A and B are shown apart, each in its own frame.
Chain A
Amino acid sequence: MRMEGEGKLLRVFVGESDTWHGRPLYEAIVARVREEGLAGATVIRGIEGFGAHSRIHSSRILRLSQDLPIVIELVDTAENIDRVLPILDEMVSEGLVTLERVEVIAYRAPAKDR
């Protein structure tokens, strides 16, 4: 089944060393938005980048490979994405969130095939 519609794409930029109550922040965010019933989440590890401190993190220099960039992408309806924003306010102490309006094309298998 093919579904088309308007939605929002939310990206969270953090580092892999960022934590939330002792576990990786990205893992905590994924678990939390899943509880909230969001459509999905994807975590991507970057190989190089820099953030607010202008400090380069890179997988090419061993000493700089300790805190590689993490991007968490969430796509859902505007209402659902707006609902998780206050949660991110609470969880992200250092990082960046971007929001975009997107056209979503979702493919879903019929329930009996799953």
Chain B
Amino acid sequence: MPPLRGHIVPDVTVVGIAVAGACGALARYGLEGVVSRRWPGAFPWGTFVVNISGAFLIGLVFVLLTERVSVDPWVRSSITIGFLGAYTTFSTLSFESYRLLEDGAIGLALANTLGSLTAGLAAVYLGVAAGRAL
């Protein structure tokens, strides 16, 4: 048998992200449903709870899997990019903004959070306008 060497990144990582992503999407769907049925009202609590819990989890998981325990990189990618990314992309936004704050790049951290929010609102507006124009 020829020696197995080189990268395991493409194959295992892609499958891991796909499977974990499916689970993350369903976790989001489930929790959002439970929360918004329990606290119905004007404020979208379901999305809020999902976003904030996702941000907490990405901080916890990333530090555990890089600084505390050693796991294969594809496991870390499956959880952080796959599961938590599908659960809420707000986790990535928050994580990367936090990293910028840690580096003292306050301007970039603000630009990242506020930029995503305002550009997101503008993009929805444009999408709505485009949808209605069709």
Interface size bracket, A side: 20 to 34
Q: How large is the interface on B (under 10, 10 to 19, 20 to 34, 35 or more residues)?
A: 20 to 34
CB contacts (< 8 Å) of B99 on chain A: these are 59-61
**What is the chain B residue whose CB lies nearest that of A62?**
B92
Count CB-based A-B contacts (< 8 Å): 66
Q: Quick check: is B40 within 8 A (CB to CB) of the other chain? A: no
Task: Let me know if B100 and A60 touch, CB within 8 A.
Answer: yes
Chain B residues lying within 8 Å of A68, measured Cβ to Cβ, are 66, 73
| Chain A interface main SS type | loop
Contact residues of B: prevailing secondary structure = helix
Interface, chain A (partner B; CB < 8 A): 15-22, 24-25, 45, 59-63, 65-68, 91, 93-94
Question: What is B's interface to A at a CB cutoff of 8 Å?
Answer: 3-9, 13, 58, 62, 66, 70, 72-74, 76-77, 80-81, 85, 92, 95-96, 99-100, 103
